[in-house]
Amino acid sequence: MMSRMFGLGVRRAASMADRPAGRPARRYTPVRAIPRMLAPATLIAALLSGIAGPAMGAPPRAAASRPAPAENYTLRQAVTAWDMLYKVDILCPDGELERQARRLKELEAVANQRLKLSAKAVLEKLQDETPPVLMTPEQAVRVVSNAGGCKTDALAQWRGRAAFVADTARQVLAGQARADRQWPRDAALEQPVRITVLGQRSDATHGAAVWLRLENRGSASARVALLAPQTFVGLCTRLSISGVPVEHGYAPRDWLTVPPRGHASVLMVRDSSCPRQARVNVGGAVVVDTGSGPRYWRFLARGVGALPAGIQP
């Protein structure tokens, strides 16, 4: 059953990539040596680093003869992660295929506007590379099998990590993840929710802490969660966070619902073993769902100092 579903999905993926008229459909070469117990996180890291082909022992195949599009590492990373999501979603649809179509459409628009490149052309080029650098259909089947099936937390975490890479790479390409956001002038994130770092405060109750304000300026409710593996205050990643659910993987189980034009205060307390710094960079990743499924966003504010007098978290 899975193989029949995947055959349909490969044909659909080819049409999404706008294959030129008259070009024969691409066939995937079988992979004869896929490690049976390859960890999902290891597969993601291998594919995104560009070493998946040799690591999987995939046999070579002939490359198509056509001009290669210009290279951009971040675009390549976004396309690779998108391709992984799409191939797994063919096996386990759950309404995700429509979301991946939107992801590719958004990525194509950003690549055209910002880089004068085509994400679909990059996808076509990667599909022709030898040895393969994209996840193969056989590897997608193995991911689902190793995760225990479509409805498991393990597969949800795998999808979440791949979606995190795809979404944050697109955010970087769109210029929405600037590394020069300075406190207190700039918000750490402008959209789809606004995250403002208010400042640092130390007291007997909370210890050394940083306060954030999270605002939903949209017209629809937003579900929000923070990703613990990505969140930091200065050199410290050992944080106690309150005011918003914290996910220690990449697929939130609990959410904070912020109503339209609503806001929430978030407190991030550093562990006592962390160094005290007068100025710190504060950043992380937030997962936001405004009704069309979870999307991943990085946030950052540089040079955060003491909470100004008169500002209440």
110 shares a domain with 207: no
109 shares a domain with 203: no
Residue that finishes a domain, picked among 173, 203, 234: 173
CATH number at residue 287: 2.60.40.1230
On the question of a cis peptide bond just before residue 192, with omega within 30 degrees of 0, the verdict is yes
128 shares a domain with 219: no
Query: Six-digit token pair at 147?
Result: 């995760």
Q: Do 285 and 296 meet the contact criterion of CB atoms below 8 Å apart?
A: yes
- Which regions in the chain score pLDDT beneath 50? 1-38, 50-68
Q: Is 181 part of any domain?
A: no
Rounded Cα distance, 59 and 56, in Å: 9
Q: Is 188 part of any domain?
A: no
Q: Is 239 part of any domain?
A: yes
Residue that finishes a domain, picked among 138, 173, 208: 173
Q: Do 110 and 175 meet the contact criterion of CB atoms below 8 Å apart?
A: no
Q: Is 313 part of any domain?
A: no
281 shares a domain with 223: yes
pLDDT at 13: 39
Rounded Cα distance, 75 and 21, in Å: 25
Q: Do 270 and 239 meet the contact criterion of CB atoms below 8 Å apart?
A: yes
231 shares a domain with 91: no
Measured from the Cβ of residue 24, the count of other Cβ atoms closer than 10 Å reads: 7
213 shares a domain with 144: no
211-269 pLDDT, tens digit per residue, is: 999 999 999 999 999 999 999 999 999 999 999 999 999 999 999 999 999 999 999 99
Number of domains forming the structure of the chain: 2
Rounded Cα distance, 223 and 169, in Å: 21
220 shares a domain with 167: no
pLDDT at 309: 87
pLDDT at 273: 92
Residue that finishes a domain, picked among 173, 208, 240: 173
Identity of residue 298: R
294 shares a domain with 165: no
pLDDT at 257: 98
Of the candidates 35, 56, 55, which has an alpha carbon nearest to the alpha carbon of residue 146?
Answer: 35
217 shares a domain with 268: yes
243 shares a domain with 279: yes
Q: Is 178 part of any domain?
A: no
pLDDT at 255: 98
210 shares a domain with 146: no
Q: What is the 3-state secondary structure (H, E, C) of the chain?
A: CHHHHHHHHHHHHHHHCCCCCCCCCCCCCCCCCCCCCCCHHHHHHHHHHCCHHHHHCCCCCCCCCCCCCCCCHHHHHHHHHHHHHHHHHHHCCCCHHHHHHHHHHHHHHHHHHHHCCCHHHHHHHHHHCCCCCCCCHHHHHHHHHHHCCCCCHHHHHHHHHHHHHHHHHHHHHCCCCCCCCECCCCCCECCCCEEEEEEEEEECCCEEEEEEEEECCCCCCEEEEEEHHHCEECCECCEEEECCCEECCCCCCCCEEECCCCEEEEEEEECCCCCCCCCEEEEEEEEEECCCCCEEEEEEEEEECECCCCCCC
Q: Is 210 part of any domain?
A: yes
Range of the domain at 128: 2-173
Give helix 73-91 / helix 96-110 axis angle, nearest 10°.
160
136 shares a domain with 27: yes
Tell me the longest C-alpha to C-alpha distance in the chain.
Answer: 72
Rounded Cα distance, 47 and 34, in Å: 13
Q: Is 309 part of any domain?
A: no
Rounded Cα distance, 152 and 154, in Å: 5
Q: Is 20 part of any domain?
A: yes
Residue 200 φ then ψ, to 5°: -95, 145
Q: Do 202 and 243 meet the contact criterion of CB atoms below 8 Å apart?
A: no
